[in-house]
Amino acid sequence: PNTAHEAYDPKMRHLPYRDDPEQYKAWTEGRTGYPLVDAGMRQLNQSGYMHNRARIAAAGFLVKQLFMDWKLGEHYFSEKLIDYDMSNNVGNWQWMAGTGVVAAPWFRVYSPDSQQKQYDPDYKYVKQWVPEFGTDKYPAPIVDHKFGRERAIDAIRKGRK
């Protein structure tokens, strides 16, 4: 009954999530250095909508690469999405974080680069929303995928005990 405010899985309720306002702001503004994530966040900010694949990429990036609390992302999406539905949004964020009822395994961490290659290999979507992509004005990645992945898995593994 409290899944809108806490992890469904009791073992996942006390994880040591990171608090990094600068990285959170970069995520909200679509300045992470990961093109698919950035395009999705910019589409959301400009139109109030983003494709499901971009939602997965953006959510996975926040909860696993940056290892920030899923509730931050859920709240941000609740403020921006024109098709917001609380039960869908909360359920999807908990799924991505690995804290929900039918959760993706907590150790599954999507690679932003692999997602890009699989879903937008020609960067058509990215170029539509990130005009500076491919120029020196586009930011470098704010976190290394391998580092972010290992940090999240280690923290979750320790926090679940």
Instruction: Residue 29: name the closest of 18, 15, 14, 39 by CA.
Output: 39
What lies within 8 Å, CB to CB, of 117 at 6+ separation is none
Extract the annotated binding site for FAD: 83-85
Distance CA 60, CA 22 (A): 18
Distance CA 2, CA 86 (A): 12
What lies within 8 Å, CB to CB, of 34 at 6+ separation is 57, 61, 65, 112, 113, 116, 141
Extract the annotated binding site: 83-85
